[in-house]
Amino acid sequence: MKQLFVLDPLEQINPSKDSSAALMQAAQRASIEVWACTPSDLHAQGDQVWVKASHVKPEPWIDYIKTVNKPSSDFDCIWMRKDPPVDQPFLYATHLLDVAERNGILVINKPASLRAWNEKLGALRFSHLMAPTLVGSGIEELIEFVLHHKEIVIKPLGGKGGEGVIRMSSSAAGMEALFELVTNKGKLPVMLQRFLPEVIHGDKRILLVNGEPLGAINRRPKVGDFRSNLAVGGQAEETELSTREEEICTAIAPALKEEGLFFVGIDVIDGMLSEINVTSPTGIREVEKLMSIPLADQIIDRLTDNFS
């Protein structure tokens, strides 16, 4: 079996923390040939997608064997693991992967769903599981939402890792000016959610494989911050799923499976769904370390079961 990982340049990856590295190493342990490329290495000739791919041994990180131009049909599975932003190069890569998928190649996650499931907006499909939320660019409506809920967070729709997330109180000065800034004077929509004070006790990252939760960590904000993302200093802690969190996973699983979202990371705060991360979910290393679960190996096993 051969698997191709489409991701950021390998020299930029920290294998001790990166979930893509964990998956690549697990694939090698399962005697799978591991190949890697960046989105710019994909190209189409007629109705066939080709790739300038490097055959690698990811464990120990990383040994290049050879780089060749290959048809995508040489691979049993292609992982699209390029980190956000979901910009034009990312979107064009998913269109090329659409072509590979039409030719019978399994692409994880499904390219069309990567485009359709914005990691903030995708959760709105399950708004009944979320804290009160508003998405829009109308400054009057945004201010009204803040005044009603008293304390909120502002999230840019294209953000990642907690970047650009702002906490705001209804008593804050300069509210209109801030909304003019973050919406580009009413042209760019943003997400507002009621602030959940329980976030000081953590934001739970739950990793689902084909709709089933296989691992989770609690991410506690650093002192002086409300954001719990590991990228901005949040601390990972071991955890277990509550009944409410299991119910959330059960509720969203059918849609994830139906739309080809094989590997997903959801964020839950105080029993409220916050985000559904589908581009390159993180957290495998932390789950493996804190929970003593060989999660990457389990994910690869679940995937290879599809070919047996």
Q: Would residue 120 show up in a list of annotated catalytic residues for this protein?
A: yes
Contacts 24+ apart (CB under 8 A), 178-184: 178/154, 179/139, 179/142, 179/143, 180/139, 182/154, 182/156, 183/137, 183/139, 183/142
Active-site residue flag, 210: no
As a whole number of angstroms, the distance between CA 66 and CA 286 comes to 31
167 included as an active-site residue: no
Mark whether 267 is an active-site residue: yes
Active-site position among 118, 277, 286, 288: 277
Q: How far is CA 42 from CA 50, 89, 278, in A?
A: 6, 11, 21
From the list 81, 82, 155, 204, the catalytic residue is 155
Q: Are strands 77-80 and 203-209 parallel, antiparallel or unpaired?
A: unpaired
DSSP class per residue in 289-301: HHH---HHHHHHH
Q: Is 229 a catalytic residue?
A: no
Instruction: Tell me the backbone φ, ψ of residue 279, rounded to 5 degrees.
Output: -75, -60
Residue 295: closest CA among 204, 220, 206: 206
Q: Which of 275, 285, 286, 288 is an active site residue?
A: 275
Q: Residue 174 pairs with which residues in a beta bridge? A: none
Q: Is 302 a catalytic residue?
A: no
**Active-site residue (options: 227, 229, 286, 288):** 227
> Is-catalytic flag, 219?
yes
Task: Give the Å distances, CA to CA, from 171 to 143, 152, 244.
Answer: 11, 11, 33
Tokens of 287: 């789950």
Catalytic pick among 205, 218, 245, 285: 205
The closest of 28, 98, 95 to 65, measured between CA atoms, is 28
Active site residue 218: no
* Catalytic residue, candidates 81, 110, 120, 194: 120
- Rounded Cα distance, 121 and 157, in Å: 7
Catalytic residue among 82, 194, 204, 219: 219
Catalytic residue among 119, 267, 286, 288: 267
Report CA torsion sign: 306, 250, 207, 151.
positive
CA distance 145 to 193: 9
Catalytically active residues, by annotation: 120, 155, 205, 219, 227, 267, 275, 277
